[in-house]
Each structure stands twice: as structure tokens, then as C-alpha cells.
Chain A
Amino acid sequence: MHLFIELITLLFFLITVAHAVRHHGREGALFFATLLYLGGARETLVAVMRWLYGFAPLNLMLGPAPLIGAIIWGYSIYAAVVWAGGITGRSPLRDHPTANELSLAALFMITLACFYEPILELIGMAKWEDGTRRTWGIPWIALIGYPTLTVPFLWLWGRLRQLTGIKRFLVTAAAMTLLAAGHAAGLQWLKDGLGW
């Protein structure tokens, strides 16, 4: 079952990357490259530091983190961008996102948390810490975690894409590393503080 879910997710991720490149060209490819780095860095930190949740032994790994954990962020955030863009008529990928678009993307990611998390629990792919508070299989902290990675990412993306060349590469790499580390550590800190 795990391998089936991993392969389906990988296939959908690759189709989505192709879609982004088809519609946004080089910027679409860079968008996904950045998200792959962000997702990979964040899930690696979660695995290595034993924050938030543990992973079942999976078939496709990216270092210490499951590949599905690294790619699902890009797949989901791009879907949130497509949805928010469809509602507002602009593309948060091309234009600097407005507060309205960031709010819509956050709403979409909260909904995805409600969709993904109960399935992950049911099939045993992600194991949250003992005592994690949930409703309908949805960890409360995930309702904060999904949008709080998405909104800063989209805001940063809108800013950083104004840079060019090596400066853009270096500043983006630094910003995504800080975001990945700050998000994973901050969420664990918040979860402990709230007793969730």
C-alpha cells in the first residue's frame, strides 16, 4: 500500500511539474526546484531532529527523509497557487501575491491538511508524537503547520524572483534553509507550548 501511494504521488508530482513548466516556463521550473529544496530540507530536519512526527520505513527515500514528504509540499503549494489564482484571476506565481491571495492559499492548505492527515494516519505513513491532539484524525498543529509554511514561502518567492543571477540563487538558498529550519523548529516549539 505504501509503495502504491508513493508512486501515485510521485507520478502526480511529475505531471504537476510538467504543467508548471508548460504554463510558466523557466519560472515554473524554478518554483518547483525551490519547493523541492524547501520540502527536502524541512523533512530532513524533521527526520534527523525527531521533531513533530516520525516516518514509517518507506520505499523511496531522499537521504533520511521520505521522498513523498519532500515532494508533497511542492505539489500541494502549486495546487494552492492554481486554486487561489483561479479565484482572484491573477497568478501568485507570476505576480507578487496579495494578502487576499495569501489568505486563499492558506485556506486551501488547511483543507489539504484535513484531507491528507487522516489518510497518513490510517495507512501508518506518518506517526505523530504520542498524545498529539486531533479531531477526525487531523492533528490540530497541522492546521497551523500547512499554511505557515505556504504563506511565507509565497511571500518570499514574490520578493526573491525580482533578483537575478547568482544573487537570486544564493539569497533563495539561504532564505529557504532558514524557512525550513524555522518552520520545523517553531512548530515543535508551538506544539509543546500549547500542549497539542
Chain B
Amino acid sequence: MAQATFEEISAADFFYRNRDIAGFTNPSRAIFVAIRELVENSLDAAETSKIPPDIYVRLSYESEASKETQIYKLRVEDNGIGIPPRHIPSAFGQVLFGSKYKLKQQRGTFGLGGKMALLYGQITTHQPAYVISSTGMAKIYLYKLMIDIQRNRPIILDRKVLINKENWRGTVVEFTLEGDYLRSMPKILDYFKQTAMVNPYANLTFVDPKGRLYKFVRVTKDMPAPPKETLPHPYGVDVELLQRLIQITEYKTMLEFLRHHFHRVGDITARKFLEFSDISPSKNPKKLSHEEIVRLMHMLKRYKDFLPPDASCLSPLSEELLTAGINKELKPEFLSVHQRKPSTYAGHPFIVEVGIAYGGEIPKTGNFIVYRFANRIPLLYDEANDVSVRVINAMNWRRYKVTPEMPVAVLVHICSTKVPYKTVGKEFIADRPEIRKEIANGLREVARQLQHFMSRIEHVDRDRKRLGIFSKYLPRIAEFSTTLAGKEKPPDIEKLLKSVQKYGVDEEEA
């Protein structure tokens, strides 16, 4: 029997071998994902300090790569907070740099999207990446780097320091990658449009390889409150997280450990829980055996009296911004948006925001147009499997006087510290009953508003039709009765027609 050999591989190496996980599945998808990751980083970098983002993306053609793919240069500029010079090489040249022991709502999928993009570029073109950044202080730093894949270390090829005369602040990333722009173009444009929809306070500019300019201009400078960091809620922990917390904790008793590392657990709750689970409050957490840790996790999940997580760690868009965003991108005839109250699934807080829009620039496609967002990222793939689409399909729209033949767009935004993606591709959201319920209730609310609108339209329409019918027939009745009665001049029916116009008339009369 052959001895299995274990080889330690670096994180960079791991992702190199498993780049599908991060979305770099094929040349057309890769180019879309690279743009998306860098734009999300840029949005985060600006929003963190409540700076209305200005993001410029340029994709330019470099050379042929193969029959179907080309080499492109991708440049993304932002006006974000910039990166302190000592962190620049690691931030872009080392996968899994930085740690996340605390939870907050984040855009990035693994917190490594940008690095994966650079890694992918390096793999496909063997060219270095350029990173220019300034925090707005006196200097601008320029790095030319590559990633040492095996050792997961940045290799700095060049470094320049420039005087920041204009007090510029932000980050520029430029690198080359192989891709297929023509095939990814529809998704990329969708991505920008939908990003603009949920970031109405951002200026987005995109110049594509053909030199076409796409510009999405902000309509407001109001921004949602940035999310706060929060501790994990007891219902949401797993054994892995417990072990990590025990490793880093400075507290020597279970009581203190619970009080300081968990969300919404105070002295009284901690004591009651320890009594419930029959654990001594004075026990040192570092002394817990593996079995005891597993048991602790189960007890945490079973205890009914933890307060639900609060949603301060979440950063929903707000009904105002959603309205501004949808109006800006779809210019609908009617729009209703609704933000649900915070809810939780498995210890993770989440908020659902929905919108429904009718008419305007929304095309009739024979089906509803669905816009899905998770933590303000547009989800563009695997629509059919998404919980939102399932809820939409299961709804009885006829009740609301809405049919798929109408120009209707439905928007669902879920924000959470942990969005329950169904697969590693992170393109669609799992069908959790709690989430399903919130989406369904939200959609019912906005659908009712649309129903009222449709009824109003119908009413106006009916009034117009009625007036049309009376205006058509009353003069004929006048004409015929004049002839029949042998009168000289027709009766005066102006009064009658005016009364129809003014008040309408009774619907039924026996």
C-alpha cells in the first residue's frame, strides 16, 4: 500500500489550482469577475469613510492570445481612502492577507477578490501589476509587483514615491489579463447598470476596448450608514469559530469569555446560559476538551433565551436610496420600494429590501425582469435557482392585477453578515424559510402598491373609454330621434356630454 504524501501548499497556490471557486471559470467569466472584484473593493474603500465613490474603469485591448481570447489591460481608479504604503504589497500580493475575527456586512466574497484578479492576470499573461495609492497625505506610492505563487508572497519589482501636489487620494490598479470581452460584454454592462442602481451616490465610468464610454452619474450624495463590526451571535457559531475564539481569548473564565466574544450576551444571559448547559462559570475556556467544545456549540444553539441579533451591523440601502437608484436607471412610470424589519436566520441578522417598478424604460419581455442583490452586489448568474426568483414564481400575481406580459421589474436586495449562498460560485441565494418569508412579505407589500396603481390606470382608462362610448352614441341617438320625431334641429346634448365628462355616470342601472 502506497504511503499518501501530504504536501503543504500556500494559499495562493491553492487558489491557483482552484480558481473556479473564486469565479475565474473561463475567459469570458474571468474578465467580468476581475472587473467586479476591483470595483467592489473600490466602492468599499470609498464608503468606509462616507466618501461618495468616483470609480473609473478602463479595459483596453493589448494583443491576441488565442483564437477566441485576447489580452486586455484593466485599469480601475477610485477616490477611496487609499492604502497605507506598508500594506500595499501584501494587500495585492498576498492571498488571505488580513484577518476577520469580527463580523460585518461586506461586499467582497472571500476578501480576496482583488488579489485573485491579479493572480489570474499574472497566470494568464506573466506580466506584473501596477498599484498606485495615496491616503491623501504628502506622498503617492507606486508599486510594480508580482505574486510568488508557491510562497504566497509579493515580489516588489519596482517602487516609486511621488510628491502629492494635488492632494490626490485613492487607489489605481492596473494589470493585464486574458479574456473574451465580446462574450462577457452583456454581463459587464448589466453589472454596471445594476451596481449604479444600488449605488445611486456613486459615479461609475467604464471605457470598453472599443473606446465606448458608459457613464453612470450619481443622483445623490446621501450614503447609507456604514456597517458596524459586530461579535458573532451564539446561534450562528460553529466548532471552528469556537476554537479560534478560544485560541485568541484573553479571558480566563467561561463567564467572561461568553460576555466578551458574543453578540448580545451580557452578564445575566451568560450566567443563565451556563446554568442551563451545566458549565461552571469559572471554568477556563482554554481547558475545554474537543468534546466539550462540540457540546458547547450544541448548547448555544439549543438555548432559547438569547436576544436576537441586532441589525446595527447591517447596512441596508434604505427606501430613499433604492428609490433614487431605480428611478435613475429604469425611469419607471411607477415604483414602490419597501424595507423589511431586520430578521435572523441561524443567528445571522439580515434585512430584505424589495422594489417593484412598472413601465418607463422597462421592456416587455414576456416575463418579469428580476434584479437580485446581496450586500449591494448584483447577482447575475444562476437566476433560476435563486430564492427570490422562486418566491416571485410562486406568487399569485393575478391577485395584484399583474401579469408577466407587463413591463415589470422586481428588485430584491438581501443584506446580511452572512449571505446564505447556495454554492461556492456565490451567485445565488439558498432557499432559507426565514429569508423566503421576508422576501414574500416584502413583495406582497410592493405588489399591493402596484395593484393600486394599476387600478388607478384602469379607472382612468375606463373613464376614457366610457366617455368615448357616450361621445360616440349620444350624438347618434340625437340624430336618429330628430329624424324620427320629424324635428328641424337636433336636441342640445352638450350638457349631457359634459355631465359624463365631469362626474362619470353610474356603472349599473336596472
Note whether A and B form a binding pair: no
